[in-house]
């Protein structure tokens, strides 16, 4: 290995990872450009390839079917959704519901007789009849005629059609079947790279099964090495926790497995290629590939290879790195397979920029530039995977007479593009051929079809008869040069996610970058400094000493006032007139400055969250981000909504609605979100013109004290925000004071009841608002159309992240009984991958619970249900570690209490009883969060209409509500509303005052009299 070359390449990768798109594209444009003569020759080749493609498309029924039902039509989406889910549904009742859902609303008649293919037209008429069967309802004439006998018929027909679609995109159910299919006449001259359909493993059992599948595939292909076939390997299929935080665990294990496969392939004389993964895994992948590439036992074997994704900004230095490995490397260049998920992840995590290009044409430019590098590289044997005629023609132009490379295409796509090149012109082409059961194609099928069917893709454009040849073969270099290499205007940077009129998105940290991760770990592990006064007279000296923390002393200048609740309220009461008359814009500016300070002091705040509240590193980042989002969002909402409103009325009268602060508010925060909720409640009260006495949970005074210090630094007067600390007795004294004009509380339902009673006990006291956010028995319903891998990932996050100590956490998993055992088995396996440990370790998934009382309560409950535990883990004994636990219960009604920790209960429900199941959950009286996993749109409509919850999550996890996007709060026993982080939250903190002025009493309406309408 040339260390200097590979090190230089890694340095460049680091600089390009999230660099500005125009800066990355500038050198690529020069590299990818064609001179006029070359462009003319390329266009000639491309037009010929285009003609071949269209000729093949007009012949094959598959191509015509996909052309008729494109992904930009409701019918195409319906078919794709049906194909994704149908084959995994075991029960006929749900299968019928899925068919009705996907076929029932689409306009199949509009496609009848439109295709040149008789087979496509026949299939369309089948869909028309199918829609009648499932979509007419029970009273339709054909429905009455066929009655129930029609459903098995339609089900069987759909099943056969879905298996046919599976055969289009999956080469074979087994490696032997796939190799046999490659010997068919239509594949003459082509070789294959077999992929065992190994998507990301969820469990160690998954990983072992995929590894054995690869071993078997290498052995099978190795029986006939002269055929020239190869194997493709996904590293994420070989380890369930292929993550940067688990680097020390997964990289050595994967290196060992890849070495075993490579040695086996070398001994058989066949090639092995490592597939590309998501961008955050690139550095890990290179470490693994680099070690295996340098093994002495593999010297002389030229079959080792890797895939590179051109949509990534780091593609060119990856080629430089591969070329410096001091051996021949087979490199497959692809456009990219995870574009949409990469974009979303970057936005959700608030990262600085995207790791990939946001325009399809920019990806094409990158592809061409990297392809030219590969053709010039001394130690790279190139493979160009493309269905784009212009791309293929350009590579042919640059390669000249050379055939020392190969093209590649996906099985089931690109028919006609390469046949003439292979059979008449001596080019090599390899088919990327998935192998596996049709029911397992799932996400693979969806991703490949979406990737190659996007509106801007060559495959989609080819099928659009409205586009001319010139438009289809337009030069991507010219396209990108025309826009200056700028990002796509519809894809803003994460900081601008909420648009010009919205708040600025909070900045996150990229923990997939090793340097960033190491710096964060060092920061959160550093001893906390001794803090000064908190400017609020709070006595923190008696709390937290047993938690190994240094607690700040009271501000000496305020000691004479004491730390009593009465004194704190007195100060806030006196400060109210001045703060309430401060203009809204100035109050909002204080919140925005506070948000900036939170991000400036992010490392310190994260350290306190980790050490005081036992937050994991990921949760600590989220805590600071959410606090900053609350500040900016409420500032934006205040500027928008809190100014006086002129109301309509008769002439000679002025009516105005003023929105004012109410007085002193008490905000009482929980320990599970000691910064985000503490500040969210507090700044909402402040920006609406109230003064605040803020009480954190007794377990987390330090983070609250620092937040108050920063608020004062941001411009909030020290008497407008006063901190008091302590336990229930302090909270009771606070809410009992008649000067308190409102209470915002987050915590238990029992405590919120006590507060509500205390606010009403004194008959002379004004009725004041209570905003209460409490817990819930949060349920997720899963039907048999759901993708189990996605369900398990979301259940793990929803149940066990933050050690289950979130109000929104999943407590009750309800799985359709037909798939329950399989889901529970996969869930149990995924639980085994969880790591329990100290909060500051980036590999930790589940940290300790908050205190001894919580630990004792949860452990006692586990002991009481030990005969019902179906899965639990071993936990360290030297801390407050409650093991993640899965408890099987007999019925929904068996769980009637929220257990605030990493304990998940699972029960089953019967197919066809979704409404009844929702009603049984509603009957518990809680209404915080609920989830649904289903591919049936009607099921989503039913739960949306019938679930009595504040937050409903469909086909995603149930935690992580984002300020401004998912306003959070429950109903019933789960809270009063309004929802935190929503557009109506601030109004609850306000007093509304209407002022009506009769202007005629001062001599008439001058405005009316001045109207020039002719006069008398």
Rounded CA separation 564/571 (Å): 11
Which of 429, 590, 609, 807 is labelled catalytic?
807
Contacts of residue 248, Cβ cutoff 8 Å, sequence gap at least 6? 843
Q: With left for phi above 0 and alpha for psi between -120 and 50, is residue 256 left, alpha or beta?
A: alpha
Residue 96, helix vs strand vs coil: helix
| 439 touches 196 (CB < 8 A) | no
Joined tokens for residue 186? 């239509």
Rounded CA separation 994/29 (Å): 62
Which of 773, 789, 898, 990 is labelled catalytic?
773
Distance of CA 298 to the CA centre of its chain: 40
Give the residue from 972, 978, 899 showing the smallest Cα distance to 929.
972
Q: How many helices (H) and strands (E) does the chain have?
A: 37, 25
DSSP H stretches of helix in 694-736: 701-713, 728-736
Rounded CA separation 176/814 (Å): 39
Rounded CA separation 773/970 (Å): 7
* Alpha carbon distances (Å) from 355 to 282, 313, 338, 376: 11, 6, 11, 25
Residue with tokens 């490995």: 325
DSSP state of 552: P
Contacts of residue 497, Cβ cutoff 8 Å, sequence gap at least 6? 347, 350, 505
Largest CA distance in the chain: 109
Residue 92, helix vs strand vs coil: helix
Rounded CA separation 903/779 (Å): 13
**Bridge partners for 266 per DSSP:** none
**Bridge partners for 842 per DSSP:** none
| 705 touches 552 (CB < 8 A) | yes
Joined tokens for residue 347? 């936005």
Residue environment code for 344-360, b if the CB has 16+ CB neighbours within 10 A, otherwise e: ebbbebbbbbbbbbbbb
Active site residue 631: no
| 224 touches 183 (CB < 8 A) | no
| 388 touches 364 (CB < 8 A) | yes
Joined tokens for residue 78? 């319906």
Please write down the HEC assignment for all residues of 249-272.
HHHHHHHHHHHHHHHHHHHHCCEE
| 970 touches 950 (CB < 8 A) | yes
**Bridge partners for 307 per DSSP:** 332
Contacts of residue 459, Cβ cutoff 8 Å, sequence gap at least 6? 387, 413, 414, 452, 453
Strand order in the sheet with 903-909: 869-872, 885-888, 903-909, 812-816, 779-782, 929-933, 951-954
Phi and psi at 358, nearest 5°, equal -100, -5
Kindly tell me the burial class for residue 25, based on how many C-beta atoms sit within 10 Å of its own C-beta (0-12, 13-18, 19 or more): buried
Active site residue 807: yes
Joined tokens for residue 529? 């400094």
Rounded CA separation 172/194 (Å): 10
| 27 touches 446 (CB < 8 A) | no
Half-sphere exposure of 111 (CA within 13 A, CB side): 28
Rounded CA separation 392/1007 (Å): 74
**Bridge partners for 457 per DSSP:** none
- Residues annotated as catalytic are 773, 807
């Amino acid at each position: 290995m040339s260390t200097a070359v590979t090190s230089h390449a890694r340095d460049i990768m680091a600089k390009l990872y999230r660099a500005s798109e125009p800066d990355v594209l500038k050198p690529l444009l020069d590299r990818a450009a064609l001179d006029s003569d070359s462009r003319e020759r390329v266009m000639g080749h491309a037009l010929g390839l285009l003609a071949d493609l269209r000729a093949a498309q007009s012949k094959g029924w598959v191509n015509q079917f996909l052309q008729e039902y494109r992904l930009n039509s409701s019918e195409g989406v319906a078919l794709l959704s049906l194909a994704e889910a149908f084959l995994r549904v075991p029960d006929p009742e749900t299968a019928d519901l899925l068919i009705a859902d996907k076929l029932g609303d689409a306009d199949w008649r509009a496609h009848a007789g439109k295709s040149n293919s008789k087979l496509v037209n026949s299939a369309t008429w089948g869909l028309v009849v199918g829609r009648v069967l499932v979509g007419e309802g029970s009273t339709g004439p054909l429905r009455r005629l066929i009655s129930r006998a029609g459903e098995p018929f339609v089900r069987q027909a759909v099943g056969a059609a879905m298996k046919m679609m599976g055969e289009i995109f999956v080469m074979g159910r087994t490696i032997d079947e796939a190799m046999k299919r490659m010997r068919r006449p239509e594949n003459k001259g082509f070789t294959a790279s077999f992929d065992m359909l190994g998507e990301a493993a969820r469990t160690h059992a998954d990983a072992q099964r995929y590894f054995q599948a690869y071993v078997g595939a290498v052995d099978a292909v190795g029986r006939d090495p002269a055929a020239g076939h190869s194997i493709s390997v996904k590293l994420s299929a070989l380890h369930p926790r292929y993550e940067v935080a688990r680097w020390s665990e997964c990289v050595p294990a994967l290196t060992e497995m890849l070495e075993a496969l490579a040695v086996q392939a070398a001994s058989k004389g066949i090639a092995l290629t490592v597939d590309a993964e998501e961008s955050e895994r690139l550095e890990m992948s290179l470490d693994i590939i680099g070690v295996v590439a340098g093994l002495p036992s593999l010297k002389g074997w030229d079959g080792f290879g890797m895939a590179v994704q051109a949509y990534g900004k780091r593609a060119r230095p990856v080629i430089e790195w591969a070329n410096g490995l001091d051996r021949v490397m087979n490199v497959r260049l692809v456009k990219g397979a995870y574009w949409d998920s990469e974009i979303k992840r970057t936005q959700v995590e608030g990262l600085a920029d995207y790791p990939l290009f946001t325009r399809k044409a920019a990806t094409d430019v990158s592809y061409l530039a990297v392809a030219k590098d590969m053709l010039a590289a001394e130690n790279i044997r190139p493979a160009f995977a493309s269905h784009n005629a212009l791309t293929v023609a350009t590579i042919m132009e640059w390669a000249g007479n050379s055939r020392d490379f190969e093209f590649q295409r996906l099985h089931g796509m690109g028919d006609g593009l390469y046949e003439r090149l292979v059979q008449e012109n001596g080019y090599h082409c390899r088919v990327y051929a998935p192998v596996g059961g049709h029911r397992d194609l799932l996400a693979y099928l969806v991703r490949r079809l979406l990737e190659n069917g996007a509106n801007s893709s060559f495959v989609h454009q080819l099928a659009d008869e409205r586009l001319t040849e010139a438009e289809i073969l337009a030069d991507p270099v010219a396209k990108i040069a025309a826009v200056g290499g700028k990002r796509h205007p519809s894809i803003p940077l994460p900081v601008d996610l909420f648009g010009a009129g919205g708040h600025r998105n909070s900045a996150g940290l990229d923990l997939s970058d090793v340097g960033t991760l190491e710096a964060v770990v060092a920061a959160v592990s550093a001893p906390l400094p001794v803090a000064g006064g908190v400017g609020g007279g709070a006595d923190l000296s008696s709390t937290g000493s047993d938690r190994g923390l240094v607690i700040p002393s009271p501000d000496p200048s305020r000691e004479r006032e004491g730390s009593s609740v009465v004194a704190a309220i007195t100060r806030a009461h006196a400060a109210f007139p001045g703060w309430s008359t401060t203009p809204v814009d100035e109050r909002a500016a204080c919140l925005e400055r506070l948000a900036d300070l939170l991000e400036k002091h992010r490392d310190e705040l994260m350290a306190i969250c980790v050490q005081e509240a036992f937050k994991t590193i990921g949760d600590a980042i989220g805590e600071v981000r959410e606090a900053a989002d609350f500040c900016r969002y409420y500032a934006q909402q205040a500027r928008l909504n809190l100014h006086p409103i002129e109301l309509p009325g008769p002439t000679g009268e002025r009516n105005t609605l003023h929105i004012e602060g109410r007085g002193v508010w008490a905000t009482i925060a929980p320990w599970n979100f000691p910064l985000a909720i503490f500040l969210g409640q507090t700044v909402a009260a402040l920006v609406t013109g109230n003064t605040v006495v803020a009480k954190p949970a007794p377990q987390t005074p330090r983070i609250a004290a620092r937040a108050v210090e920063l608020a004062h630094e941001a411009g909030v007067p020290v008497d407008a925000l006063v901190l008091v600390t302590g336990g229930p007795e302090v909270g009771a004294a606070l809410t009992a004071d008649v000067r308190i004009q409102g209470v915002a509380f987050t915590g238990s339902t029992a405590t919120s009841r006590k507060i509500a009673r205390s606010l009403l006990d004194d008959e002379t006291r004004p009725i004041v608002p209570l905003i209460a956010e409490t817990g819930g028995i949060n349920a997720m319903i899963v039907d048999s159309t759901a993708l189990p891998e996605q369900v398990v990932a979301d259940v793990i996050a929803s149940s066990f992240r933050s050690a289950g100590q979130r109000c929104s956490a999943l407590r009750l998993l309800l799985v359709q009984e037909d798939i329950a055992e399989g889901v529970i088995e996969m869930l149990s396996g995924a639980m085994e991958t969880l790591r329990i440990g100290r909060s500051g370790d980036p590999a930790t998934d589940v940290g300790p619970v908050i205190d001894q009382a919580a630990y004792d309560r949860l452990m006692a409950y586990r002991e009481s249900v030990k005969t019902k535990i179906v899965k639990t883990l071993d936990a360290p004994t030297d801390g407050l570690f409650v093991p993640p636990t899965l408890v099987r219960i007999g019925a929904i009604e068996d769980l009637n209490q929220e257990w605030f920790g990493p304990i998940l209960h699972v029960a089953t429900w019967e197919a066809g009883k979704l409404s009844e199941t929702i009603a049984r959950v509603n009957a518990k009286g809680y209404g915080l969060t609920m989830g649904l996993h289903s591919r049936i749109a009607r099921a989503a409509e039913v739960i949306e209409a019938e679930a009595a919850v504040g937050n409903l999550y469909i086909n995603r996890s149930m935690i992580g509500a984002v300020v401004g996007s998912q306003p959070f709060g429950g109903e019933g026993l789960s809270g009063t509303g309004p929802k935190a982080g929503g557009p109506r939250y601030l109004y609850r903190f306000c007093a509304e005052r209407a002022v009506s002025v009769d202007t005629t009493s001062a001599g008439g309406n001058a405005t009316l009299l001045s109207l020039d309408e002719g006069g008398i």
